[in-house]
């Protein structure tokens, strides 16, 4: 199962103890993937569609625990797409009416299926209810990428007003949710790892949160190691390049003017570098007598480089 599927499975097993939170979560599910049908005698029924078995189970459980109503579940197989869809249906008019009144969707519906509703602000007044609503919205139309690959959280909405409401609720928990239009849908999304940790905490998916944190720690350790290795490699390359350049300058001075024309200090460090081409500045300084610090060795080698450049210019002028 994918990471997103694991999150939904965890959330589907969690039932808020407070009835108002149960209503808020059910309101989100109804608003995003629910529909209302009005019969010929103004008899209504409520239907919630999902392709996730865990979500269907959660909807059925919420309706039972919150309203003591036994909903029907129908399963449909699509042989072409090789997918299964689930429909949780409340057929009795009185039962459907109770649910719609409790979730404050009673005055929002119009005839037919596939209508999109905006949750009444009363339903999400309390912080705990906002958590439940976001949880329901994610169960209805949310997904997350595998954190080992990338950080991405999204909830897909058919209407812009619903996307804006979900964005507002998420941002009320100090997160920066964005909305993007994708084809005909409005997608509320988060991209930063820290904010996805926060949204899992808001939805109370604590097991998934710990799993994501473990992945984040491993990725951060790997990135830190890579940075250090790259830094060390760069330093080694820099040191090797400097040593090669120093060897070339010293060899050039030896073959043109000879070491005997060099001051004693420069002559000593030149001979030490030729004898120890792989030595660091510190190691070269310890070879000298008396020993010289890194800055002193670096100063003498720089002087040799300047002298080699000067001799090259003079030799070029003679030619």
Quick one: which of 176, 128, 129, 177 has its CA closest to 154?
177
Strand order in the sheet with 44-50: 34-38, 44-50, 83-90, 72-78
Residues 84-137 have pLDDT tens digits of: 899 999 999 999 999 998 998 875 444 443 345 677 888 999 999 999 999 999
CA 22 to chain centre: 29
Residue 149 has pLDDT above 70, yes or no: yes
Residue 252 confidence (pLDDT): 86
Share of the chain above pLDDT 90, in %: 47
Give 88's strand partners.
48, 73
CA distance between the termini of the chain: 77
- Of residues 118 and 307, more confidence is placed in 307
Residue 64 has phi, psi (to 5 degrees) of -70, -50
Tokens representing 198 are 């926060």
Over residues 230-244, mean pLDDT = 81
Residue 75 has pLDDT above 50, yes or no: yes
Residue 319 has pLDDT above 60, yes or no: no
pTM above 0.75, yes or no: no
Residue 54 confidence (pLDDT): 92
Residue 317 confidence (pLDDT): 53
Residue 113 confidence (pLDDT): 37
Helices marked H in 113-205 — which ranges? 127-141, 160-171, 193-202
* Plot region of 87 (φ>0 → left; ψ -120 to 50 → alpha; else → beta): beta
The confidence band for 40, taking pLDDT boundaries of 50, 70 and 90, is confident
Q: Kindly report which listed range (125-139, 148-162, 196-210, 249-263) carries the lowest average pLDDT score.
A: 249-263
Q: Kindly report which listed range (5-9, 93-97, 152-156, 284-288) carries the lowest average pLDDT score.
A: 284-288
Quick one: which of 290, 310, 308, 294 has its CA closest to 246?
308
Q: Kindly report which listed range (17-26, 94-103, 144-153, 233-242) carries the lowest average pLDDT score.
A: 233-242
Residue 130 confidence (pLDDT): 95
Residue 316 confidence (pLDDT): 67
For the chain, counts of helices (H) and of strands (E)? 11, 8
- Of residues 318 and 259, more confidence is placed in 259
287: exposed, middle or buried (Cβ count in 10 Å: 0-12, 13-18, 19+):
middle
Over residues 237-256, mean pLDDT = 84
The CA distance from 279 to 243, in Å, is 9
Residue 277 has pLDDT above 60, yes or no: yes
Q: Tokens 């790259």 correspond to what residue? A: 230
Over residues 32-48, mean pLDDT = 85
Peptide bond into 144 cis (omega under 30): no
Q: Tokens 């941002």 correspond to what residue? A: 171
- Of residues 286 and 7, more confidence is placed in 7
Over residues 293-318, mean pLDDT = 83
Mean pLDDT of the chain: 87
Quick one: which of 50, 19, 8 has its CA closest to 33?
50
174: exposed, middle or buried (Cβ count in 10 Å: 0-12, 13-18, 19+):
exposed
Over residues 233-242, mean pLDDT = 79
Residue 247 confidence (pLDDT): 87
The CA distance from 52 to 39, in Å, is 28
- Of residues 279 and 65, more confidence is placed in 65
């Amino acid at each position: 199962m994918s990471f997103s599927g694991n999150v939904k499975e965890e959330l589907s097993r969690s039932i808020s103890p407070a009835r108002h939170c149960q209503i808020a979560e059910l309101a989100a599910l109804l608003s995003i993937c629910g529909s209302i049908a009005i019969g010929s005698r103004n008899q209504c029924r409520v239907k919630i569609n999902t392709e996730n078995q865990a979500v269907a189970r959660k909807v059925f459980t919420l309706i039972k625990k919150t309203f003591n109503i036994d909903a029907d579940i129908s399963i449909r197989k699509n042989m072409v797409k090789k997918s299964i869809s689930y429909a949780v249906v409340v057929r009795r008019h009185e039962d459907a009416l109770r649910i719609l009144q409790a979730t404050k969707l009673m005055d929002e519906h119009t005839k037919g299926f596939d209508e999109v509703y905006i949750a009444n602000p009363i339903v999400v007044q309390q912080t705990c209810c906002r958590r439940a609503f976001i949880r329901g919205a994610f169960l209805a139309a949310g997904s997350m990428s595998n954190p080992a690959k990338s950080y991405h959280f999204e909830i897909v909405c058919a209407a812009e007003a619903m996307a804006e409401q979900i964005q507002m609720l998420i941002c009320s928990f100090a997160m920066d949710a964005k909305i993007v239009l994708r084809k005909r849908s409005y997608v509320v999304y988060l991209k930063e790892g820290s904010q996805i940790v926060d949204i899992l905490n808001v939805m109370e998916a604590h097991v998934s949160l710990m799993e994501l944190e473990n992945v984040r720690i491993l990725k951060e350790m790997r990135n830190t190691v890579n940075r250090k290795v790259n830094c060390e490699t760069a330093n080694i390359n820099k040191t090797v390049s400097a040593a090669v350049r120093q060897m070339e300058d010293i060899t050039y001075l030896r073959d043109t003017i000879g070491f005997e024309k060099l001051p004693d200090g420069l002559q000593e460090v030149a001979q030490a570098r030729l004898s120890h081409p792989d030595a660091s500045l510190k190691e070269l300084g310890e070879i000298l007598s008396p020993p010289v610090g890194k800055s002193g060795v670096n100063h003498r080698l720089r002087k040799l480089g300047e002298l080699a450049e000067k001799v090259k210019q003079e030799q070029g002028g003679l030619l």
